[in-house]
């Protein structure tokens, strides 16, 4: 079934197998024709009522055909009173038609802005603040606006209302309470989700009618009475949802037959829907979000849900004048807290966060400032709120429930729940900041101290929640799930303002760059912006990062390492805030050293980079750990993953920047020992290698794993990985022979962490290619006076000569991969050395090997990856030293023709890129990033 649009949903009915009844199919066809021929004008009352009446009757008939008086607890196909099987599809489509119809009718009334309920999974919700702009509609008198809108939309040409008590929309509104009550615990989860949407559409239309009841009621008393009946139906829907919600909140598990839910198919785990609790929470959230509009004549309803249902949150006083002591509602806040924090099912936890977000928006809409301040701020004038017994010190406030929910949801193991918590966090933070801004007499951002004095508006508004919220907000900007990451980064910009260019990211060639807009410090911002807030809360942030470096989720560990690196990069290099982080450097380093043993290579990769960044920022504090760090970096330089090897080279370059010539000598010793390691690679033909890779016996009967599997998440442990000999025998304890991870030091990953291959000798040589690139880029420029070291040709030329000789070896199949790495790193090396220096001393070392690799038709067996890398390298080198000069160097090798052909192919490739808009920094689309907006 496709419920994305009404048209597609109706078309889906005709494709169901086994086929639906003839009546359902005929109704579907007729409703589609009505949908395509509907009249857009709201002023042709008689003509539109005819079509509307048939459309509404058709939708209600679909619902009736899909409903049953006796729901089954284990089958979505029930039997009606006539003994005919009942299919849920027509019920679902009928509910979707109702939602669409009510949305169109609501637009005819005075439109109200609603935020919508976040129940769409891990997709990024619409980025907008949870409150309307403060200046909205201030220029025009509210009563004049209401009269103007009412006259335009509700009064026809003859001066009579365009709707009356017998209009199809009222027929539908009167029918929905019983439909919702019958299907709120339907066994099919898709039906329950559509019931939740129906509840929201009904509430939005019903409360929107309250804006026009006074004007229309003077013209038609029957219409005013019908509007009051609609409000009664809305309250009945609310009562039905609360009854079902209360029953499901108290059902902890399938204890016995008396506790079994008729809305459950037995799926009570952490992955699938959990009874009707999830959809009940979404239904109540939709209802809360839909409660807009003015007050009804009797003084109840409309405007804000919390104003109407204050007894759910508050006890006695002006908050709940109709509070009934026999009506025990103590279950609501406690139950909602349990759903958000401790419930076993992820869908329930996400739905609970969505409900909290809708209630926050309702508080913001509330015309009663006392209720709004009491709920969002946790108290008012020192009174205790929501406390069945006023002497109970464990009183639960709405603010405490939000705090507990954010604490749990922002650190949840499921990205779906973490995303829902991020949405709630933004809504709550922006609401409190807006309230604080309105109360600020100055109306500005409160100072703009350039020295970072004071505190930010976020810290001022959130108060005691900041030490809990800020660490989670920081880490989620690096979380692996792109939805959580991008949404959290946007929240950071909304909370702390746009960044300035005063702080740029590090100039290192790290393959895992950190976004520049993260911990920024706006020079004129209050309290130093996000950088100032992080510095003042360094203690809780560092403790949280250290804890998350040992989390069970490998994505969390990876994000924590990135967050630690950012602290060193942004806070550690700041002239004012660097001292704030200094007391916690040792603790953070110990956490990173633990991550060096992780079984997830991205975690090891990020830990490696973070340690190098810390050495630059805090060289003295890191010096005691330097021997261990150097051993870990050199281990990573021979890792099986190429990006880990590259980032280990980056970290060693950082260490040279931090510790100068002594560290350079140690690094050069490693390079001299490891460059010839590929000579020790066992000989193997390509045919033997292919047979080994395609051996069916080696890949049959083994355990399968996936990122969604529960199996890898249930076990911890470390496998001892024996490193292959990467060079001639080394002294005991040398980094090249030590195991990459200690026994028992493993963490949980997305793969079988107990299966690994030994390291290959050629990988040590490959790591040296990256390390030579770092040395050349950072220290080989003779024209720049370096405060650290300068790498002369007397040291570099022998190393490059030996590297070229080793890359000519072809007795093992991975030699092609080694040459691919060389061709990718040679252009930045040449650019760093300079045109004249590279052309005179280094070009001839590689030109014959490059020419041979360019010719894929020569029978060399080179892969397409290495041929492409060689072509790109040749193009960049020719551009640097001159195409004519480079072509002349190929005369002796006979590679001029191949070079000409490659350059022609590269030219055509560039033309295609320009034509498709992907060249020269043009906008492009990545499935892993946000969509790019093109200029109009």
Confidence of residue 110 (pLDDT cuts 50, 70, 90): low
For residues 433 and 426, give the distance between their C-alpha atoms in angstroms, rounded to a whole number.
Answer: 10
DSSP string, 743-754: TT-----SS-TT
Model confidence pLDDT, tens digit, residues 727-779: 433 433 343 334 444 443 444 444 434 446 788 999 999 999 999 999 999 98
Domain boundaries, the chain: 761-780+790-930
Half-sphere exposure of 743 (CA within 13 A, CB side): 2
- Ranges of beta strands (E only) in 105-249 are none
The closest alpha carbon to 320, from 420, 240, 387, 259, belongs to: 387
Among 209-218, 474-483, 641-650, whose mean pLDDT is lowest? 209-218
Model confidence pLDDT, tens digit, residues 124-173: 554 444 434 334 444 444 444 444 444 444 555 445 556 677 788 888 99
The closest alpha carbon to 6, from 25, 33, 24, 32, belongs to: 32
For residues 723 and 711, give the distance between their C-alpha atoms in angstroms, rounded to a whole number.
Answer: 28
Model confidence pLDDT, tens digit, residues 628-641: 999 999 999 999 89
- Phi, psi of 390, deg, nearest 5: -65, -20
Confidence of residue 720 (pLDDT cuts 50, 70, 90): very low
pLDDT, greater one: 402 or 39: 402
Q: Is 682 helix (H, G, I), strand (E, B) or coil?
A: coil
- Phi, psi of 374, deg, nearest 5: -65, -45
Please check the confidence at residue 256 and state whether its pLDDT lies above 70. Answer: no
The closest alpha carbon to 588, from 558, 522, 544, 639, belongs to: 544
| Residue labelled with tokens 């946000």 | 930
Among 170-184, 692-706, 823-837, whose mean pLDDT is lowest? 692-706
For residues 468 and 413, give the distance between their C-alpha atoms in angstroms, rounded to a whole number.
Answer: 17
Please check the confidence at residue 75 and state whether its pLDDT lies above 50. Answer: no
Using CB atoms within 10 A of its CB, is residue 876 exposed (0-12), middle (13-18) or buried (19+)? Answer: middle
Model confidence pLDDT, tens digit, residues 859-907: 567 888 888 899 899 999 999 999 888 888 888 777 788 888 888 888 8
pLDDT at position 786, please? 56
pLDDT at position 927, please? 43
Sequence-separated (6 or more) residues with CB below 8 Å from residue 777: 509, 653, 828, 829, 832
């Amino acid at each position: 079934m496709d419920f994305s649009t009404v048209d597609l949903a109706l078309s889906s009915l005709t494709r169901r197998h086994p086929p639906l009844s003839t009546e359902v199919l005929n109704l579907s066809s007729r409703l589609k024709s009505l949908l395509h021929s509907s009249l857009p004008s709201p002023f042709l009352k008689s003509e539109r009522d005819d079509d509307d009446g048939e459309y509404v009757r058709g939708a209600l008939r679909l619902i009736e055909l899909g409903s049953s008086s006796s729901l089954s607890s284990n089958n979505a196909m029930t039997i009606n009173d006539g003994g005919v099987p009942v299919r849920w599809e027509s019920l679902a489509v009928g509910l979707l038609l109702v939602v669409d119809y009510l949305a169109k009718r609501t637009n005819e009334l005075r439109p109200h802005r609603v935020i919508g309920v976040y129940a769409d999974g891990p997709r990024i919700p619409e980025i907008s603040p949870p409150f309307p702009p403060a200046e909205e509609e201030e220029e025009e008198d509210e009563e004049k606006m209401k009269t103007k809108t009412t006259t335009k939309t509700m009064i026809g040409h003859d001066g009579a209302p365009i709707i009356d008590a017998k209009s199809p929309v009222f027929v539908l509104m009167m029918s929905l309470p019983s439909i919702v009550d019958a299907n709120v615990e339907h066994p099919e989860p898709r039906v329950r989700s559509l019931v939740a949407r129906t509840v929201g559409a009904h509430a939005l239309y019903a409360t929107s009618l309250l804006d026009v009841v006074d004007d229309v009621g003077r013209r038609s008393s029957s219409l005013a009475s019908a509007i009051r009946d609609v409000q009664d139906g809305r309250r009945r829907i609310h009562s039905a949802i609360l009854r079902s919600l209360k029953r499901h909140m108290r059902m902890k598990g399938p204890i016995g037959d008396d506790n079994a839910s008729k809305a459950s198919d037995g799926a009570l785990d952490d992955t699938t829907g959990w009874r009707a609790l999830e959809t009940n929470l979404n239904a109540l959230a939709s209802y809360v979000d839909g409660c807009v509009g003015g007050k009804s004549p009797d003084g109840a309803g409309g405007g804000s849900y919390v104003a109407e249902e204050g007894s759910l949150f508050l006890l006695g006083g002006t908050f709940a004048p109709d509070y009934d002591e026999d009506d025990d509602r103590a279950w609501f806040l406690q139950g909602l807290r349990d759903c958000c924090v401790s419930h076993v099912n992820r869908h329930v936890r996400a739905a609970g966060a969505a409900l909290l977000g809708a209630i926050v928006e309702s508080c913001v809409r509330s015309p009663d400032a006392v209720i709004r301040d009491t709920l969002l701020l946790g108290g008012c004038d020192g009174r205790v709120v929501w406390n069945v017994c006023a002497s109970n010190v464990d009183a639960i406030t709405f603010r405490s429930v939000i705090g507990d929910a954010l604490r749990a949801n922002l650190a949840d193991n499921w990205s779906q729940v973490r995303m829902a918590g991020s949405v709630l966090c933004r809504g709550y933070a922006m609401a409190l900041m807006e309230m604080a801004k309105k109360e600020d007499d100055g109306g500005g951002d409160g100072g703009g101290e350039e020295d970072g004095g004071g505190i930010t508006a976020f810290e001022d508004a959130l108060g005691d929640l900041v030490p809990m919220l800020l660490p989670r907000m920081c880490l989620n900007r690096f979380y692996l799930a792109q939805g959580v990451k991008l949404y959290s980064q946007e929240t950071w910009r909304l909370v702390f303002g746009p960044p300035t260019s005063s702080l740029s990211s590090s100039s290192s060639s790290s393959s895992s760059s950190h976004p520049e807009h993260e911990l920024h410090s706006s020079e004129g911002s209050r309290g130093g912006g996000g950088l100032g807030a992080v510095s003042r809360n360094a203690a809780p942030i560092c403790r949280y990062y250290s804890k998350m470096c040992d989390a069970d989720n490998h994505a969390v560990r990876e994000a924590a390492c990135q967050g630690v690196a950012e602290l060193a990069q942004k806070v550690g290099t700041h002239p004012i805030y660097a001292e704030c982080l200094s007391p916690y450097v040792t603790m953070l380093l110990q956490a990173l050293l633990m991550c060096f043993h992780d079984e997830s290579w991205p975690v090891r990769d990020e830990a490696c980079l973070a340690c190098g960044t810390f050495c630059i920022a805090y060289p003295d504090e890191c010096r005691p750990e330097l021997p261990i760090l150097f051993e870990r970096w050199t281990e990573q330089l021979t890792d099986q993953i190429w990006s880990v090897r590259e980032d280990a080279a980056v970290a060693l370059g950082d260490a040279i920047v931090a510790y100068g010539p002594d560290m350079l000598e140690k690094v050069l010793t490693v390079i001299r020992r490891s460059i010839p390691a590929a000579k020790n690679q066992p000989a193997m033909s390509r045919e033997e290698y292919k047979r080994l890779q395609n051996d069916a016996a080696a890949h049959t009967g083994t355990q399968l794993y996936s990122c969604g599997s529960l199996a890898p998440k249930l076990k911890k442990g470390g496998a001892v990985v024996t490193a292959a000999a990467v060079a001639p025998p080394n002294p005991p304890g040398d980094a090249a022979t030590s195991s990459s991870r200690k026994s028992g030091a493993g963490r949980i990953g997305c793969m079988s962490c107990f299966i690994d291959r030994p390291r290959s000798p050629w990988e040590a040589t490959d790591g040296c290619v990256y390390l030579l690139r770092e040395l050349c880029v950072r220290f080989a420029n003779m024209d720049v006076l370096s405060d650290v070291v300068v790498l002369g040709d007397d040291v570099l030329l022998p190393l490059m000569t030996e590297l070229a000789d080793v890359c000519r070896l072809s007795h093992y199949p991975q030699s092609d991969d080694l040459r691919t790495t060389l061709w990718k790193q040679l252009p930045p090396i040449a650019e760093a050395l300079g045109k004249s220096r590279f052309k005179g001393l280094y070009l001839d070392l590689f030109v014959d090997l490059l020419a041979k690799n360019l010719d894929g038709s020569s029978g060399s067996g080179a892969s397409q990856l290495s041929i492409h890398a060689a072509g790109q390298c040749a193009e960049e080198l020719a551009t640097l030293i001159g195409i004519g000069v480079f072509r002349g160097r190929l005369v002796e090798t006979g590679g001029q023709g191949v070079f000409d052909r490659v350059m022609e192919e590269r030219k055509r490739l560039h033309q295609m890129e320009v034509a498709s808009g992907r060249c020269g920094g043009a906008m492009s689309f990545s499935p892993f990033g946000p969509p790019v907006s093109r200029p109009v």
